Amino acid sequence: MRVRDSIILKLKPYEVEKKEGLIYLASNESPFDIPATLKERILEEIQSVGFNCYPDIMSDEIRAHIAGLLGVDKDEIIVGNGSDEILLYLTMTFAGCGGCVVSPSPSFSMYRYYALVSGAEYVEVELDEDFSLPVGKMQTLFKDRNVSVVFIAYPNNPTANLWDKDTILRILTSTDAVVVVDEAYFDFSASTLLPHLHDFPNLVISRTFSKAWSLAGLRCGYIVANKELIDILKRVKQPFNVNILTQIVVKTCLHNHHYLDDVVRSIVAERKRLQTELSLIRGIELYPSYTNFVVLRGKGVTANALYKKGIVVKEFSFKGEVFLRVTVGKPEENDIFVSTVRELMADGD
């Protein structure tokens, strides 16, 4: 058995360990399911649909609905089995073997995977001290290297911050590489590059139904870009990538999108409460968040120490320091998290 590139053997499978009794604040999922009335409507729809035929090949109704919401053309949208799927297609298509993918670091860990499994080189540019974007270093890379794809999570995961829009525009004007502005957390930041879609043929905007829309289990995301770029991706896309059940659920949720405001309002209020409670613990350093997760640092508060107390969170390192990325959970989960951090900090005194 010969693998195309030995680098694939060095990759670790993406694993999420789920065990009964643990509190999971590690995947930036919504703590809320969709409203029960919506579920009933979805179940009725499902009853009336045969499972024996393939789903709509392009998820056309979803595309049309999103186009209406965003004020773009349907042909400027492609829908995926999670935004993950389309991000991989983008990398395969525009970087692929011999191409070069650039992303700030730390950022969404999958960008590196997409690059390496596509046979592209992956170059990360370390963020500056206060998580700011090293535009100068990126511009130098654009001059020195033949960069094909740039991934920018906006807001950034795992640092939760939102860069100045002008900074992203400066990057867009300095390269003709495909610049993917990954707006997975857009519903929490309310800041988007979408108004600039027609100014830059290389701008791609990615969104997901996995966060504020509370549909992570259904797997659906999409990208918006100029029609020519979307037409290219249509050639790469698997024919029936979004299954019938997901298409029904997403369509129904789009038709009843008002629940989204409640979800965002509740998560943002809970995030603020969580940050206030944490800020009262001596030794905890907190960072601004435009997402559904919080970022903090405190001596002795590690993912491992929290795991031993039954709480699963993500950890990342930056300039030799360890930071925690903690999803805003249900109020009772957040309470347990805060009191555990308090306990761990007291132990370290």
Which residues here bind ligand PMP, judged by CB under 6 A?
28, 82-84, 108, 153, 157, 182, 184, 208, 210, 216, 221
- Taking CB atoms, the residue at the shortest distance from ligand PMP is 82
Nearer residue to ligand PMP within complex by CB, 183 or 333: 183
Q: State the minimum distance, in angstroms, from the CB of residue 344 to ligand PMP.
A: 26
Q: State the minimum distance, in angstroms, from the CB of residue 346 to ligand PMP.
A: 32
Nearer residue to ligand PMP within complex by CB, 108 or 122: 108
C-alpha dihedral (35, 41, 42, 46), degrees to nearest 10: 160
Nearer residue to ligand PMP within complex by CB, 84 or 270: 84
The set of long-range contacts for 111-114, using a CB threshold of 8 Å and a minimum separation of 24, is 111/87, 111/151, 113/11, 113/14, 114/87, 114/88, 114/90
Structure token pair of residue 347: 């132990």
Nearer residue to ligand PMP within complex by CB, 210 or 214: 210
Strand 311-312 versus strand 23-24 pairing type: parallel
Nearer residue to ligand PMP within complex by CB, 206 or 334: 206
Annotate 168-187 with b (16+ C-beta within 10 A) or e (fewer): beebbebbebbbbbbbbbbb
* Burial label, 114 (beta-carbon count in 10 A; 0-12, 13-18, 19+): buried
Q: State the minimum distance, in angstroms, from the CB of residue 206 to ligand PMP.
A: 7
Do residues 238 and 214 lie in contact, with contact meaning Cβ atoms separated by under 8 Å? no
Nearer residue to ligand PMP within complex by CB, 184 or 242: 184
Q: State the minimum distance, in angstroms, from the CB of residue 27 to ligand PMP.
A: 7
Q: State the minimum distance, in angstroms, from the CB of residue 65 to ligand PMP.
A: 17
Tell me if residue 77 falls in helix, strand or coil. strand
Helix axes of 83-94 and 227-236: crossing angle, nearest 10 degrees: 100
Q: State the minimum distance, in angstroms, from the CB of residue 225 to ligand PMP.
A: 16
* Bridge partners of residue 103, in order along the sequence: 124
Please tell me the number of Cα atoms within 13 Å of 237 on its side-chain side.
25
